[in-house]
């Protein structure tokens, strides 16, 4: 598999539009803290260039906000400390954060001042889609469709994708582990707006692939395979950056072919216990969330109990 991936990479490098280098801009923790705190979630950038990071442990747990140079500014008011996946979504000229609570079994919509606009409780989802023994959900990711409909995945549960309208009314469920989906640890989902109509791009982590589904739940096919446990994606100029939790960040084109490996730490097979002394400049360990800023620079948040963010600047 590694040979096949390498050959595909070499054959497609010529179409890569840009290169990246480790950034000299770093995330700086709040005053008095050595690191930002346990990261097992998401990272996103708003239209002003502010960076939002979900932190689930430490003195400043919640959603931390940094400026474009990585200086800690504040925590987002009212944000819980169990957002595993979130997106910043623009509606009628205003931005909102939609987050899925891993422990709280709910979806929250907030404005960027920290006001809670809506809460969708997991109790709206029929019991047949929940874990048969625990009777719970483990929501790991959420995104918003073109018409405002909301999609959330039970990625640490039974891999179902749950569909709500923009008011939070439950509309239905699709996905799961049976044919034709055969999802296994559907870690996060994202709206892929590169296509018309838009579709869902799902990180089918344990299967090592990205798959496309329609917004109505039809399985459209495998977009990319032979990945090292894809945990998150981000889009920019037709390409998609993939955070692979087994130590790699890869850029794929619209056909799902690799055009650039940004960082490859091939010895890594997960784990969140990597201490600061083992961090190497520009080399990822356990990529978990990923985003682009408006200039095409890449920010990666890792699954790490101390809290690690790695940035790559677009050349």
What was the pLDDT predicted at 132?
Answer: 87
Q: Are 298 and 311 in contact (CB under 8 A)?
A: yes
Q: Total domain count for the chain?
A: 1
What was the pLDDT predicted at 16?
Answer: 47
What was the pLDDT predicted at 314?
Answer: 93
The pLDDT tens digits for 61-75 are: 999 999 999 999 999
Q: Is 50 exceeded by the pLDDT of residue 14?
A: no
Mean pLDDT of 125-135: 92
Q: Is 70 exceeded by the pLDDT of residue 217?
A: yes
What was the pLDDT predicted at 262?
Answer: 96
What was the pLDDT predicted at 232?
Answer: 98
Does the pTM of the predicted model rise above 0.85? yes
Q: Is 70 exceeded by the pLDDT of residue 249?
A: yes
Rounded Cα distance, 160 and 217, in Å: 10
The pLDDT tens digits for 294-309 are: 999 999 999 999 999 9
CATH number at residue 208: 2.120.10.30
Q: Which domain holds residue 305?
A: 2-314
Q: Is 80 exceeded by the pLDDT of residue 13?
A: no
Q: Is 80 exceeded by the pLDDT of residue 170?
A: yes
What was the pLDDT predicted at 315?
Answer: 86
Q: Is 70 exceeded by the pLDDT of residue 223?
A: yes
Q: Is 70 exceeded by the pLDDT of residue 119?
A: yes
- Give the whole-number percent of the chain exceeding pLDDT 70: 94
What was the pLDDT predicted at 141?
Answer: 98
């Amino acid at each position: 598999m590694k040979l096949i991936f390498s050959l595909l990479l070499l054959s497609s490098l010529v179409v890569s539009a840009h290169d990246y280098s480790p950034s000299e801009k770093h995330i700086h923790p709040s005053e008095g803290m050595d690191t930002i705190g346990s990261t097992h979630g998401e990272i996103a950038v708003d239209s002003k260039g502010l960076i939002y990071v979900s932190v689930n442990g430490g003195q400043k747990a919640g959603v931390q906000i940094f400026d474009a140079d990585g200086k800690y500014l504040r925590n987002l008011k009212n944000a819980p400390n169990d957002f595993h996946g979130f997106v910043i979504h623009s509606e009628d000229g205003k931005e909102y954060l939609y987050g899925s609570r891993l422990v709280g079994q709910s979806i929250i919509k907030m404005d960027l001042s920290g006001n809670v606009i809506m809460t969708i409780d997991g109790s709206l989802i029929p019991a047949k889609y929940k874990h048969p023994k625990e009777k719970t959900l483990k929501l790991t990711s959420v995104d918003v469709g073109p018409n405002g409909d909301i999609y959330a995945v039970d990625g640490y549960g039974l891999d179902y994708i749950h569909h709500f309208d923009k008011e939070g009314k439950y509309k239905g469920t699709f996905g799961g582990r049976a044919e034709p989906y055969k999802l296994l640890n559907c870690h996060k989902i994202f709206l892929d707006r590169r296509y018309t109509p838009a579709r869902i791009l799902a990180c089918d982590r344990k299967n090592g692939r990205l798959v496309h589904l329609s917004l109505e739940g039809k399985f459209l096919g495998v977009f990319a395979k032979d990945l090292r446990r894809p945990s998150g994606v981000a889009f920019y100029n037709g390409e998609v950056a993939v955070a692979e939790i087994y130590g790699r960040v890869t850029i794929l084109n619209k056909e799902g072919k690799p055009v650039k490996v940004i960082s490859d730490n091939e010895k890594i097979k997960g784990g969140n216990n990597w201490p600061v002394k083992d961090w190497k400049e520009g080399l990822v360990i356990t990529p978990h969330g990923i985003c682009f800023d408006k200039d095409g620079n890449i920010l990666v948040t890792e699954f790490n109990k101390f809290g690690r963010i790695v940035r790559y600047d677009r050349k």
